[in-house]
Chain A
Amino acid sequence: MIDFLEKWSFFGGSVLLILIGLYGVITRKNLIKIFIGLSLMDTGINVLLVSLGYVEGGIAPIITSTINNNSYNFVDPIPQALVLTSIVIGVAVLALGLGVIIKIYEKYNTLDISEIRGLRW
């Protein structure tokens, strides 16, 4: 059981986070809650990417004076670089989205998408 959890918790947990986020985006009516869902999806995908590059017992892939050859067990650095880029993009989109939500709130005085005209799906 513990073995199973150790092996699959990253993968299953991140997919679960994505699904929870997707459920929130689809079912919630409040714009802020929708964006919390989107943010959960972003976090889930970032965890998924990091866990894909995880190596059992690996160390950070940084070359120093003592750690200077390939015999050390490094974790894969590329997914981490991808996650950094993806976090930056996610934050930018979130900020833009919240900015637009402020403008919508000023116009309609509500955040409920079923009451906002011009937002019919």
Chain B
Amino acid sequence: MVNLILIIALPLLAAFLIPLFNYINKKLPSIVVFLTTAINLLIIILNYNQIILEPVIIELGNWQAPFAINIYVGTLELISITVISIISLIIAFYNLNHSNFSSESKFHTLYSIIIAGIYGIVMTGDIFNLFVFIEITTVAAYGLTTFNKDKGYEAAIKYIIIGSISSVFLLMAIGFTYSAVGSLNMAVIAAASNLINPGLVRIISLLFFVGIAFEAGILPLSIWVPDVHSIAPSAVSSTLSGLVFLAGITALIKIFFNLFADPSLYVFLMIIGAISLIIGELIAYQQDDIKRMLAYSSIAQMSLVLTIISVGTKYAISGGLFQLFNHAILKTLLFLTAGLMIKYAGSRNISDFGGIAKKIPLIAVGFSVGSLGILGVPFFNGFVSKIMIVNGSLNAGEYILTFLVLFATVIEMAYYLKVIQTIFFGKISINPHKIVKSYVPIIVLITVVFLLGIYPELITKPLNQATGELLSRSDYISNVLGGM
């Protein structure tokens, strides 16, 4: 077995060696990033069979459980890091050919750091480390946003202001938790959470929600999302939308299911999520800028995941998690293809993409596959998760929620099909700016979409196991603390 801490350490090491490699050869940085992401995938595959049997806990510095800063990899974390490593590998491959930025090595340094931070958010078992990794991820993301010379700085300053305010609330939550429990270890907090005053638990959870929801794309705190996602380079938009949101939602799930399992909080999450879902879809419908549309659609999807997970039944949670991972794969595909179409047409407006499918068929097909997957058409991966979501909410007796999910899908259908209609049947009105080529990442992503659509057992079986682990907190506590 290879030590799992390497998958955080390797990208960090690569990030700080990249300036040296850049000094040797300008082509090396992108290759180094590609190799580190590939090695990470390899490490996870080597460990897969062992983690699926029982969770792996790594205690740093050889201290014992309550004092150690630990890394906890259960089934949920395992699936998350597998998806993250696959997607980051694909984006790194895309960057090999497409990163024509003026300061390339800086871009690759920040990309490595953001990948390390995302792995850290998912795997850490210590709430202060969670804060540090969230800061690593967001600071790298601030930097990556500015790579667009057009409006990058304005989007970045908005992101920095909202991110700093949220991080203050997150730190406050951590401080109150520490003063109530006397430890920063997640398992110790989970074991002690029944002893804390329930009012304080509610305040702390609310502060945690404010601190992390900005990273997870839930609406009142995510007004930065459309600006940053639409302005950043498309490799960055897909990383932010696919991976950072995934990590944020995973952290929220860990806080609300492992740390403080208070059912009265779930109603609050459900209402916030449902409002954010409908508003996100309605704003996405009005957009003409394709990347803004995708960004609002991301907000809506993340809210859908949060809402459905807060129903709290086993079936609903696995449906929500499945949708979370599907969304990561599909949004990566959508942002990459949308970026290529923008490059080809030289415009961001959907109305300028008329008949683009005849010129660049593979990219148009990739975009359509992504859209149909989000809508949940049969044989695409979104179909199975949508069925699980609708079934899960019906079985739990949440009929209003079922109605809202279906209503949101109808709005989604309206704006995604509008784009597909324009790119396939619209009047050709473009004079191409440059020829764009990117076959491998798109074909790989399309294959993954169909693979999960036709053989959903590949992911539903580990997902059911992950849900079981989430719902049995005592196992989590005894795993980390060793039956204390």
Contact = CB atoms under 8 A, between A and B. Distances in A.
Interface of A: 18, 22, 25, 31, 34, 38, 41-42, 44-45, 48-49, 52-53, 78-79, 82, 85-86, 89, 92-93, 96-97, 100-101, 103-104, 107, 116-119, 121
Interface string B145-170: 01000010111111011011101100
Given A45-B168, A82-B128, A89-B135, A34 B178 contact: no
9 contacts: A18-B172, A25-B165, A41-B164, A48-B172, A79-B175, A79-B178, A92-B139, A93-B167, A107-B153
Contacts of A103: 146, 153
Contact of A118 (B151, B160, B168): B151
Contact of A49 (B135, B153, B158, B175): B175
B157 to A, nearest CB: 5
Given A48-B175, A96-B142, A116-B154, 10 more contacts: A18-B168, A38-B164, A42-B164, A42-B168, A45-B172, A53-B179, A100-B156, A100-B157, A118-B151, A119-B157
Nearest to A34: B161
A107 B153 CA distance: 10
B161 A25 contact: yes
A18 B166 CA distance: 12
Interface in B91-119: none
Contacts of A34: 161
A118 B154 contact: yes
Contacts of B155: 118
Contacts, number: 84
Given A97-B157, A119-B154, A119-B158, A52 B178 contact: yes
B122 interface: no
A34 to B, nearest CB: 6
A103 B168 CA distance: 26
B110 to A, nearest CB: 11
B252 interface: no
Contacts of B456: none
Given A78-B184, A82-B174, A100-B146, A41 B168 contact: yes
A98 to B, nearest CB: 10
B4 interface: no
Interface in B156-208: 156-158, 160-161, 163-165, 167-168, 171-172, 174-176, 178-179, 184
Contacts of B178: 52, 78-79, 82
